[in-house]
Structure 1
Amino acid sequence: MATELELKLMVQSEYLKSASDFLDEICTLSDNEEQSRQPTLSLMNAYFDTGEADLMKAGIAMRIRAVNNKFIQTVKTRGSSRVGMHARGEWEWQVPSDKLDFSLLAEVPLPDELKDMSWTNKLVEVYRTDFERQVWNIEAQGSTMEVVCDHGLVTSPYGEDSICELELELKDGSEAGLYHFALELAQQVPVQVSTVSKAQKGVRLKYGQIEFPEKPLNMASRLELASYWYEVWLIYWEAMHFMQDEALLQPVRHSIEELGKYLPVELQKQLISLDGQMDECFMEEELLMIKKLMGMTSVGIAMLEVGQWLNKQVHTD
């Protein structure tokens, strides 16, 4: 098993070339041979679950990935929250075809409700993802990471959703390098932190649900409350884009206001300034407003700086 730790960034399709050019330039100007662009991949992933969504309810994602006529079976668990980052268990096996091999699951600590394996007889393909993946190996602040740019679609019988994102996966070193490089990128290209995985996008097409973190108790610490409102901000922001609903800007701004109560003064000022910029967007028509919001570099920079601060506090505690 590997523990996958990654930072996922939303990016609009019109900014993909800018992101790719920025990453290419980083590699071209580097004297480090380990820092380089890798071959572009075309990936197909089929995700499986029962009609009753037993795997989803248990926090499990199971897929078969096809890459250049080779097949990889993967199981991922929901994992633990890392304040805007993804940290989860991941198991991968090379398999001879696009058929699932259930014997491999002996290595996975399945939850009690799945241990009898009876659900394997009821699995169906519930959605799939098809996308092009550009890949770069990057080093920053002593941390080694794989940066990928994915562009394509999630499809299911219930509809489709776009894939347009950057993922920074930590391979070696500390999270500080991950955030440092993400902030460099965010200063050049409009990106925003996202906590919605491709698997969650597929599930959302069927159930139409937005998942929110559990609200802390009244006696929760300031750090717990800050982490909660930060996650709520990220979720509403992504939902506003997915649903193309400008009305969701109000809960976005409310979550930012609540978050600011638990942050240091400099970050509070940054969020107040950001809220003022958002207020100006109300002068735009609905679709133009969302487009303008998604093109603001200040949003992604604020998300990353708050996320970086929150993660530092978690590690300090």
Structure 2
Amino acid sequence: MQTEIEIKFFVTRNIEVDLSNLLNFFAINEHSSQQLGNVYFDTPNLDLRRLEMGLRIRRCDTFAEQTIKCRGQVIGGLHARPEYNAPIHGDLPDLTAFPDHIWPSTTERDRIQPQLEAQFRTDFLRRYWRIAVTGGEIELAWDQGDIIGSQGRAEINELELELKSGDAMALFTVAQQLAQLGGLRLGAQSKAQRGYRLAGLGKPLGLVPLTGSEPLAELTGVSAGLHHWQHHEQLWLEHPQDLALQQQALHAMCQGIVLVADCASTISPAVSWLPALVNLLTHLQANLNESHSWPNELATLLVCPNYIALQLAITATLHHASK
């Protein structure tokens, strides 16, 4: 078992030249590319999804591997999930290849096994670089391809920073440098989450209320506020033709930011990113009632290096506090 710790970015413009220039400043231990085909499995009743597990078979040339990812945590764009890998020789996963303890019971595992069906797939070119960092190593992967489900397909254009060894805080150092390229957004959604939706098996994004009305502890409130902010940021982006919904999503983004700011203001010693957050909130609130030129401005803001750097700084604070 390994715990996969990574930061994910969605790429919104052609960054090939800028990324190549940035990589010249890193010590690269290895560089390669692979065409990867991945098929994701679940039962018709989505038993694995209910267990917060993701199951896939990945193929590359003559190599094939099955992977199961268990319940993890997503903070900002930082993903941490236990993952188990095993070789595979057929077309269906073999759940007995994974440790017994990850299942509620082996009886439940054996009930799920014969019901497994392919639900969706992802096909993409992965270019990756192993970057040497102080005391460790990070893999930078650039995935470009498609997610294909029964209800359509969606583009994959993602950068992922995965910690291979060393301190996870090194991820944030490299991520902040990537953020300065512009045209990137922190990605809180995995390929599997997007795939379930394209297969008609996941709920569409919608407006959600802030959880509860009771006061939250400082870091719990920061985490809840950031999640609320990023959820509605994605909702805003997915409905460019629905200005009324975009206004509601923007209002919800501001609610999340207010919660982050309120809870962060009680943290001691004070966090360095709070003034930038307050400035962002003031800017967004001043434009809440705009309905014409503002959407274009906000779309630009959401991939602005300073905006991404701010979200990364908040995520780093939460990760550091959880160690």
The answer to whether the Cα contact below 8 Å between 1:261 and 1:268 also exists between their aligned partners in 2 is no
Indicate whether 1:262 and 2:257 are aligned.
no
Query: 1:151-193 deviations in whole A, cap 9, x for unaligned?
Result: 1211111222222211111111112211111111112233222
Take 1:120 and 1:72, find their aligned partners in 2: how far apart are those partners? 17
Q: Which residue of 2 aligns with 1:196?
A: 189
Indicate whether 1:68 and 2:61 are aligned.
yes
Q: Which residue of 1 aligns with 2:10?
A: 10
Note the C-alpha offset of 1:274.
2.4
Indicate whether 1:302 and 2:310 are aligned.
yes
**Matched residue SS, 1:96:** coil
The answer to whether the Cα contact below 8 Å between 1:83 and 1:310 also exists between their aligned partners in 2 is no
Gaps of 5+ in 1: none
Q: Which residue of 2 aligns with 1:135?
A: 128
The aligned amino acid for 2:191 is K
Given candidates 110, 114, 136, the residue that maps to 1:121 is 114
**Matched residue SS, 1:63:** strand
Q: Which residue of 2 aligns with 1:154?
A: 147
**Matched residue SS, 1:262:** helix
Note the C-alpha offset of 1:268.
2.4
Note the C-alpha offset of 1:141.
4.2
Q: Which residue of 1 aligns with 2:233?
A: 237
Q: Which residue of 1 aligns with 2:204?
A: 209
1:29-108 map, 5 Å: 30=27, 35-81=28-74, 84-107=77-100
**Matched residue SS, 1:121:** helix
Residue range with higher mean Cα deviation, 50-59 or 182-191 = 182-191
Q: Classify 1:18/1:305 alpha carbon distance in 2 versus 1 (closer, same or farther; 3 Å).
A: farther
Q: TM-score, with normalisation over the residues of structure 2?
A: 0.84
Take 1:214 and 1:117, find their aligned partners in 2: how far apart are those partners? 39
RMSD over aligned Cα atoms = 2.8
Query: 1:64-83 deviations in whole A, cap 9, x for unaligned?
Result: 11112311111111224556
Residue range with higher mean Cα deviation, 207-216 or 96-105 = 207-216
The answer to whether the Cα contact below 8 Å between 1:154 and 1:163 also exists between their aligned partners in 2 is yes
Take 1:295 and 1:249, find their aligned partners in 2: how far apart are those partners? 15
The aligned amino acid for 1:104 is A
Indicate whether 1:220 and 2:216 are aligned.
yes
Query: 1:32-65 deviations in whole A, cap 9, x for unaligned?
Result: xxx2452111111100111111110111111111
1:255-294 map, 5 Å: 255-263=256-264, 264=270, 266-276=272-282, 278=284, 282=290, 285=293, 288-289=296-297, 291-294=299-302
The aligned amino acid for 2:231 is I
The answer to whether the Cα contact below 8 Å between 2:32 and 2:127 also exists between their aligned partners in 1 is yes
**Matched residue SS, 1:174:** coil
The aligned amino acid for 1:297 is P
Q: Which residue of 1 aligns with 2:177?
A: 184
Gaps of 5+ in 2: 265-269
Q: Which runs of 4 or more aligned residues in structure 1 lie more than 6 Å from their structure 2 counterparts after TM superposition?
A: 211-214
Take 1:99 and 1:129, find their aligned partners in 2: how far apart are those partners? 16
Q: Classify 1:229/1:157 alpha carbon distance in 2 versus 1 (closer, same or farther; 3 Å).
A: same
Take 2:35 and 2:86, find their aligned partners in 1: how far apart are those partners? 19
The answer to whether the Cα contact below 8 Å between 1:19 and 1:185 also exists between their aligned partners in 2 is no
The answer to whether the Cα contact below 8 Å between 1:130 and 1:154 also exists between their aligned partners in 2 is yes
Take 2:75 and 2:294, find their aligned partners in 1: how far apart are those partners? 33
Note the C-alpha offset of 1:214.
8.7
Query: 1:177-214 deviations in whole A, cap 9, x for unaligned?
Result: 11111111112233222221111111223233349799
Take 1:219 and 1:113, find their aligned partners in 2: how far apart are those partners? 41
Query: 1:261-306 deviations in whole A, cap 9, x for unaligned?
Result: 1224642210132235555695755874454234311221110011
The answer to whether the Cα contact below 8 Å between 2:137 and 2:163 also exists between their aligned partners in 1 is yes
Take 1:26 and 1:98, find their aligned partners in 2: how far apart are those partners? 42
Note the C-alpha offset of 1:222.
1.4
Quick one: percent identity of the two aligned structures?
25
